[in-house]
Amino acid sequence: MITMALWFAMAAYGAALLMNLHRILKGPGVGDRILALDTMVINFIALIVLYGIAVGSSLYFEASVVIAMVGFISTVAYARFILRGNIIE
Amino acid sequence: MPLILIAALPFLGALLPGVMIKAGRNACAWTTASVTLAALVGLLVHAPKVLAGEVIHYRLDWMPVVGLNANFFLDGLGFLFALMILGIGLLIIIYARFYLGRQDPMGPFYTYLLLFQGAMVGIVLSDNVLLLLVFWELTSLSSFLLIGYWKHLPEGRQGARMALAVTGTGGLALIGGMIILGQIAGSYDLSVILTQKEAIQASPLYLPALILILIGAFTKSAQFPFHFWLPHAMAAPTPVSAYLHSATMVKAGLFLMARLWPVLAGTDAWFVIVATTGLVTMVLGATIALFKDDLKALLAFSTVSHLGLITMLLGFGTPFAAVAAVFHIINHATFKAALFMTAGIVDHEAHTRDIKRLGGLRHLMPITFVIALLASLSMAGIPFLNGFLSKEMMLEEVARTRLGIPLLLPLVVIVAAALSAAYSFRYLGHVFFGDEREDYPQTPHDPGFGLWGPPAFLVALVVLIGLFPAAIAGPLVAASAGAVTGGDLPYYSLKIWHGFTPALLMSVLAVMGGLMLLLFHYPLDKRWIATRRPEAKVIFDTVVALCVQVSRRITDVLHPGSMTRYTAIFAITVLIASAVAWNSSTLAAPGRELLPVGMVGVIGWILIVVSTGILVVYHRNRLLSLILLGVTGTIVSISFIYFSAPDLAMTQIAVEVVSIILLLLALNFLPKSTPAEGGVERHLRDVIIAGAMGIGAMILTLAIQQSDFSQPTISAYYLENAKTLAGGYNVVNVILVDFRGFDTYGEIIVLGIAALVIYALTEQLLGGRVGRKLADRPHDPTLSGDLHPMMMVVATRVMMPLALMVGVFIFLRGHNAPGGGFVAGLVVAIAILMQFMASGYDWAIARQRFTYHGIIGLGVIAAILTGVASWLFGAPFLTGAFAYYKLPLIEEFELSSAMAFDLGVFLCVVGAVMLALESLSRLARRKDDRTRTHPMDIDPSRTEDEPRPVPPGTAPAEAH
């Protein structure tokens, strides 16, 4: 049962990733693209956790924590760049 | 005094003049003199033993693996040279104190002089040829500084450059020769090499080694055809000329020939090359010297000529000639240094050294006249002065040596001696005798004792050796000549009267000839000026210009500053190299099955292919490129996780974040789009190169995945031993901090240096015109006014302790599970960067208690201390140690020395990342940016009557 659920979830997140890619390519604005990239990172985190459950190792969970913690910083940086040009002021 | 200290004293003392100059010029000069005096006394302590024929050794292993040891030895030859270097050095220091003008900086002068002195002493005392080469190069470098001391004079700079180019090239040849010599002899220790005469002369490599060594010696000692740099080096202040170009540096080549005389001399090749070169140099130098009008140029070419004489004597290869050579080295150093100093006095007093503008100085400068008289008569070879004695010995040897057809050598040498006498007489006759002139730029008179004292002392030696040669110079000559020949000395006697010998006849002929030449100098000079001669400087400049042109051609092709070009060169080189490797070796047959591709894998593949493909299309839009790069980076990190490398993934994602921040900081000042360049052909070319590279990489990857390596990999060793040898389960971390800790040690230092360089460059930029322009640039009104949104501030404030805790966690467990100092450092740096971005630079920097420079330094110190600590246990640098402990309540844990080292890595990474990014962000600061105390645009705790802070860049109308 859990295997099937995992596969289903993975398929769903994989589809989400493709949609993210579509948004990044299509835009239309830079903001859309940045948000799509951020969402993509989140979907990836979900995939890592799922994969960790699938292979039964806690290492993947930790990796996903680190990615979650630092991954959003680049989104912030992109956003600040568009808004203010300078990201540290 | 240990020999190493004698050589080291001048180097250590070189630090003093720069400090002492603050106490005045006298203090500076006396300090310098006392350093040299100390070294001299230290040398003289050894005198009794050395003169008795004993050899003193000092051994210190430095890098025994490569045969480079700080071994010194002192025999008669080394003693003679060290005595000249330190003794004349002392006189020069005194002379220079009074010679240098008020506008000449004295501190640097004495520093350079002491550096040079130390390098020279090092050459003559070295017992290891590699050590000798180090000192040899140091003399080239320090003499460059000394010759170019008057930086404002173009001749000084050009002369210094020429001297460095010529002697430096010779030094390169010498390195080759010495290494061959050491290989033949089986040791780089001179005292061993000197015992291997048969082996060396029988070796097929003898001739190449000889030629290379002689190139080194000839360039240094200004022998034909490398003689041309010496006259141009005369642009140096006279004390430098007197020191370097009479007594010391130019004698280094002679020293080398004398030092290696026991093993190199005695063959036909040695005789032909060295004696002929010496002879040609002697005649050529003397001829040019006679027609030079510049006093120092005259002396320079006369030095060339005398160096040629000594080279010729060494080239004869007989013990008697070696004695004569050593004796002439002593005599030449005394009279030539004195002559240079008198030339300096004339220049100093009369403000000209053009012989055609001088004359009749004997009445105006009687003391200088007496000194110059005695010194130049000695140079001319007049009896009762020391120059006569060694010249007699030289003539005696020439009379019984045959070079080519009989009588050729004696005749040529008589001509050279006559020319030598002629220019010596000219120095006297045209400068000091003759009518007194009225048209001097300044009326000359005798200088103070400080200037004439040192040459007077040398002239006193000239006379004393001339009168009582055996008593004054006898022991020194015997000891040093004994060291040159390396055995019994032939019969010789240092006395004035040997009876009516062929040598005496030749001597008389030479002096008469010299007088005749001077008599007819005027018509000869006219003829000389009218003749066209090859000008060495023009040839040299042409050669240099040609080299520059060729290098520029190559550089313009390979290094034009275009990233595209570099990438193309790199790609093509890699393609060719791998094609060669691919074709010249066999590939193991594919033995492994490829793994099945899962659905997630396909999606990841689609993502990375599409995003990179789109990147190619949209690469002109730089921000979009960065976003697409973010996609690629993320997928790469994720695939690391998929391929079971979670620690790599963590590092990769953290590096991604930091580099995105770095690139965005830079993009702020760059155009937001890349201009279109090149036509269809160029694009086609680029597509082909890039495509070939990509396909090549694919083939390689497939090959690696399907078959095993042809040799066993080292991975197995690490996997087996990580736990048992280093106590860690995380093999990657154990490799970084233990097995290959020394690499990491170097890397963190490089990282720290890179960050400091970025800081220094930013400082430089901000301090200059660019900095003012940046600070004054107008605000862009289209930008958002929301500098520091409250939500961001609060979110990052909450994240901070969490991120730090994760950082500590990753750091602590790094030895046994994915993590370690590097990733932890990045995580912590990102946590701090978060505060910078959210709450502003001022707010964050105000809460920064330690400077980033200090953090980098602490990291390096922690790493060094960890490494050094293993010395206390008698183990090599950075040897690891570990133990497991158990405390109540918590699980068993490990303490290892690698952890302290990892702490160093951690601190270095935090410091370097922060310093680099902070420096870059400072570029964007404007002049009217106010220091902000609030982290947010809106201070939530404000009361109504306080005005709201106005964010810069917003219109004033919005400010209430």
Separation between Cα atoms, residue B642 and residue B795, nearest integer Å: 30
Q: Is B21 on the interface with A (CB under 8 A)?
A: no
Q: What is the mean pLDDT of residues B332-352?
A: 88
Closest approach of chain B CAs to the CA of A71, in angstroms? 7
Mutate to test the interface with A, among B616, B628, B637, B670 (most CBs of A within 10 A): B637
- The answer to which of B45-49, B60-64, B199-203, B587-591 has the lowest mean pLDDT is B587-591
Q: What is the mean pLDDT of residues B396-421?
A: 84
Q: Is A12 on the interface with B (CB under 8 A)?
A: no
Closest approach of chain B CAs to the CA of A1, in angstroms? 19
Angle at which helices B3-13 and B106-125 pack, to 10 degrees? Answer: 160
Q: Is A71 on the interface with B (CB under 8 A)?
A: yes
Residue B589 predicted with pLDDT over 80: no
| Those residues with Cβ within 8 angstroms of residue B586's Cβ, 6 or more apart along the chain or in another chain | none
Residue A53 predicted with pLDDT over 80: yes
Q: Where are the domains of chain A?
A: 2-84
pLDDT digits over B725-747, tens only? 777 788 888 888 888 888 999 99
Separation between Cα atoms, residue B813 and residue B729, nearest integer Å: 10
Q: What's the token pair of residue B827? A: 């995580």
- Please provide residue B357's backbone torsions phi and psi, each rounded to the nearest 5 degrees: -105, 0
Assess contact for B282 and B308: CB atoms under 8 A: yes
Assess contact for B347 and B101: CB atoms under 8 A: no
Residues in chain A with CB shorter than 8 Å from the CB of B661 are 73-74, 77, 87
Q: Is A65 on the interface with B (CB under 8 A)?
A: yes
pLDDT value for B90? 93
Separation between Cα atoms, residue B842 and residue B845, nearest integer Å: 5
pLDDT value for B856? 93
Separation between Cα atoms, residue B81 and residue B63, nearest integer Å: 27
pLDDT value for B955? 46
Count of residues making up chain A: 89
Instruction: Look up residue B824 and give its amino acid.
Output: A
Contact (CB<8Å) B836/A88: yes
Assess contact for B387 and B380: CB atoms under 8 A: yes
Q: What is the mean pLDDT of residues B839-853?
A: 86
Across the interface, of B631, B783, B837, the residue whose CB is closest to A87 is: B837
Contact (CB<8Å) A78/B660: yes
Residue B948 predicted with pLDDT over 70: no
Contact (CB<8Å) A41/B634: yes
Q: Is B810 on the interface with A (CB under 8 A)?
A: yes
Contact (CB<8Å) B833/A73: yes
Residue B54 predicted with pLDDT over 90: no
Contact (CB<8Å) A89/B627: no
pLDDT digits over B388-404, tens only? 888 888 888 888 877 77
Q: Give the model's confidence band at B960: pLDDT under 50 very low, under 70 low, under 90 confident, else very high.
A: very low
Residue B933 predicted with pLDDT over 70: no
* β-pairing verdict for B893-896 and B882-885: antiparallel
B262: preceding bond cis by omega (within 30 degrees): no
ipTM of the complex: 0.94
Residues in chain B with CB shorter than 8 Å from the CB of A71 are 634, 653, 657
Alpha-carbon distance values, B923 to A86, B664, B915, B927 (Å): 10, 13, 13, 11
Q: What is the mean pLDDT of residues B258-262?
A: 90
| Those residues with Cβ within 8 angstroms of residue B469's Cβ, 6 or more apart along the chain or in another chain | B386, B389, B494, B495, B496
Contact (CB<8Å) B837/A18: no
pLDDT digits over B596-627, tens only? 888 888 888 898 999 898 888 888 889 889 98
- Compute the half-sphere exposure of residue B941: CA atoms within 13 Å on the CB side of its CA: 2
Q: Give the model's confidence band at B956: pLDDT under 50 very low, under 70 low, under 90 confident, else very high.
A: very low
Q: What is the mean pLDDT of residues B648-664?
A: 89
pLDDT digits over B548-572, tens only? 999 999 988 888 888 888 899 999 9
Q: Is B780 on the interface with A (CB under 8 A)?
A: yes
Assess contact for B465 and B358: CB atoms under 8 A: no
Residue B240's closest CA among B154, B170, B161, B337?
Answer: B337
| Those residues with Cβ within 8 angstroms of residue B631's Cβ, 6 or more apart along the chain or in another chain | A21, A24, A37, A40, B607, B608, B611
Closest approach of chain B CAs to the CA of A30, in angstroms? 7
Q: Is A48 on the interface with B (CB under 8 A)?
A: yes
Q: Give the model's confidence band at B959: pLDDT under 50 very low, under 70 low, under 90 confident, else very high.
A: very low
Residue B378's closest CA among B431, B433, B327, B424?
Answer: B424
Q: What is the mean pLDDT of residues B57-71?
A: 82
Closest approach of chain A CAs to the CA of B177, in angstroms? 58
Residue B939 predicted with pLDDT over 50: yes
3-state secondary structure B483-550: HHHCCCCCCCCCCCCCCCCHHHHHHHHHHHHHHHHHHCHHHHHHHHHHCCCCCHHHHHHHHHHHHHHH
pLDDT value for B382? 86
pLDDT digits over A56-73, tens only? 888 788 888 888 888 888
Q: Locate tokens 């300090």: which residue?
A: B31
Separation between Cα atoms, residue B662 and residue B826, nearest integer Å: 13
Residue B754's closest CA among B920, B580, B949, B569?
Answer: B920
Contact (CB<8Å) A48/B641: yes
Q: What's the token pair of residue B180? A: 């061959």
Separation between Cα atoms, residue B272 and residue B282, nearest integer Å: 15
Contact (CB<8Å) A81/B646: no
Separation between Cα atoms, residue B214 and residue B196, nearest integer Å: 19
pLDDT value for B123? 93
Q: Percent of chain B at pLDDT above 70?
A: 96
| Those residues with Cβ within 8 angstroms of residue B479's Cβ, 6 or more apart along the chain or in another chain | B50, B51, B53, B75, B76, B79, B80
Q: Compare all CA atoms of chain A with the CA of B917 and give the residue at the minimum distance.
A: A88
Residues in chain A with CB shorter than 8 Å from the CB of B607 are 17-18, 21, 40
Contact (CB<8Å) A81/B634: no
Q: Is A74 on the interface with B (CB under 8 A)?
A: yes
pLDDT value for B3? 86
pLDDT digits over B874-906, tens only? 777 777 777 777 777 677 777 777 888 889 999
A 10 A CB-CB count for A8 gives: 10
Residue B454 predicted with pLDDT over 80: yes
Contact (CB<8Å) B818/A87: no
Residue B953 predicted with pLDDT over 70: no
Residue B957 predicted with pLDDT over 60: no
B801: preceding bond cis by omega (within 30 degrees): no
| Those residues with Cβ within 8 angstroms of residue B583's Cβ, 6 or more apart along the chain or in another chain | none
Mutate to test the interface with A, among B638, B669, B826 (most CBs of A within 10 A): B638
CB-neighbour burial class of residue B617 (10 A; exposed 0-12, middle 13-18, buried 19+): exposed
Assess contact for A64 and A43: CB atoms under 8 A: no
Contact (CB<8Å) A89/B806: no
Across the interface, of A44, A73, A88, the residue whose CB is closest to B921 is: A88
pLDDT value for B911? 94
Mutate to test the interface with B, among A76, A81, A88 (most CBs of B within 10 A): A88
Residue B932 predicted with pLDDT over 70: no
Contact (CB<8Å) B921/A34: no
Q: Percent of chain B at pLDDT above 90?
A: 26
Q: Is the pTM of this model over 0.90?
A: no
Range of B63-77, B294-308, B396-410, B523-537 with top mean pLDDT: B294-308
Burial B38-58 (b: 16+ CB within 10 A, else e): bbbebbbebeeebbeeeebeb
Contact (CB<8Å) A76/B599: no
Residue B951's closest CA among B838, B785, B818?
Answer: B785
Residues in chain B with CB shorter than 8 Å from the CB of A65 are 806
pLDDT digits over B101-137, tens only? 888 888 889 999 999 999 999 999 998 889 999 999 9
Q: Compare all CA atoms of chain B with the CA of A6 and give the residue at the minimum distance.
A: B600
For chain A, give the longest Cα–Cα distance.
52
First-to-last alpha carbon distance for chain B, in angstroms, is: 82
Residue B265 predicted with pLDDT over 60: yes
pLDDT value for B470? 82
Residues in chain B with CB shorter than 8 Å from the CB of A77 are 657, 660-661, 664, 837
Q: Is A32 on the interface with B (CB under 8 A)?
A: no
Q: Compare all CA atoms of chain B with the CA of A81 and give the residue at the minimum distance.
A: B664
Separation between Cα atoms, residue A12 and residue A35, nearest integer Å: 19
Across the interface, of A37, A48, A76, the residue whose CB is closest to B631 is: A37
Alpha-carbon torsion B475, B479, B480, B482, what sign?
positive
Distance of CA B370 to the CA centre of its chain: 44
pLDDT digits over B745-800, tens only? 999 999 999 999 999 999 988 888 888 888 888 777 777 777 788 888 888 889 89
Contact (CB<8Å) B837/A76: yes
Alpha-carbon torsion B497, B502, B508, B511, what sign?
negative
Residue B475 predicted with pLDDT over 70: yes
Separation between Cα atoms, residue B803 and residue B821, nearest integer Å: 15
Separation between Cα atoms, residue B361 and residue B355, nearest integer Å: 11
CA angle B378, B381, B385 (to 5 degrees): 45
Count of residues making up chain B: 960
Q: Locate tokens 């001299």: which residue?
A: B40
- Inter-chain Cβ pairs, chain A and chain B, closer than 8 A: 153
Averaged confidence pLDDT in chain B: 86
